[in-house]
Structure 1
Amino acid sequence: MITVGILGLQGAVREHVNAVEQCGAKAVVVKTVEQLAELDGLILPGGESTTMRRLLDQYHFMEPLKEFAASGKPMFGTCAGLILLAKRIGETEEVHLGLMDITVERNSFGRQRDSFEADIAIAGVADSMTAVFIRAPHIVEAGENVEILAKYNGRIVAAKEGQFLGCSFHPELTDDIRFTQYFIDMCKDGKESIEKKVAIDVSM
């Protein structure tokens, strides 16, 4: 069984747990660095990116998360989680994990009161699915190796680069689990690749 962690320091954690479990995978709420070792993939949920960064520092998660990424295991950032993954944030803001070759702009679609739902197409996932935008960022620029998966009104709102997946919206807040399943499939592929590499290293 695939085990997917949801970083449990702040944000929409329970909803992600439900979505992961509906996909038939095991969900683990991650509150300690030690839990990362048991995971095949990790979701960085929505919330407030500045608060999340403060908690990541407080609980000494920054370097272990970078090591987790370096191991080849997939990571999925939604809303604030997308901001944590980005290598560039606006023009002046401090970068957090800096793992995904994208530039993001915070609160691109307005404040909390401007939250909305929209039907969007996501490449490789769905011709149409409802996306929930809450104080959402968007991807301003994407590097040449970044695959753009979805746009809304001309703005990039979902993208993938290698083992990293990110979106501006909250896929866990609807009953549609197809995007979560897409990430779990990435975790399955990642687990197989890591196991093959280990087997080759052992045999050499």
Structure 2
Amino acid sequence: MLSGCIGRPVNVNDPSGDKEQPASTIYKPQYDKIQTPTLTPTPGISENLLIDNISRDLKDFNEKGWDKLYETNEFDCSRMTTFMWDYIRTKYRIPSKIIVAPNREHAWLAVRVKDAGDTDRYLNWTVKGVDYYFIESTVPRVVIFEKDVYFGGNWYGTTSDFYTTRIYIADDPSQANDLTGGWSTEFRLTKPDIDKLSTFE
């Protein structure tokens, strides 16, 4: 089991001190991708990266009413994430990770940027040196930059603010069930669960 915290960038002071230097020699810090990402450009042309295919696929789930399962409390984020974990892993043949965030009492998925294709149309987070896209299982969609968002009745300035929190990364639902913390999670599906969720494929 891997665990890691997603932090915000720390400003680096100009090492030149108070002494003035020519503009060409002033140090300009380069930030890691963990910083709060910039606005996602509105895609004008449909791309064919794997992450774009996943995004279009998830949009179809949403158009069939997938998000209503969460809004009406018929399914929680743990079970929806478990189903999506297997769906993405099986259909797209790439490893997906389960993210558990006790402070948010929420779970979602992550796929590696190097497996799904690198683009700036979606936010990505660097965790332990690996770049990931986050996939929200309850909506569902690949996480993009949005302002003024609500999760669980709480307001966040941006989607980056919500997803930038202490997280645990699990390789599979069984491992996710073993994570400890104050927030109780249940990453298991019954046959009736699978039958119901499979109707959205």
TM-score by length of 1: 0.26
Higher strand share: 1
Q: Greater CA radius of gyration, 1 or 2? A: 2
Greater per-residue helix proportion: 1
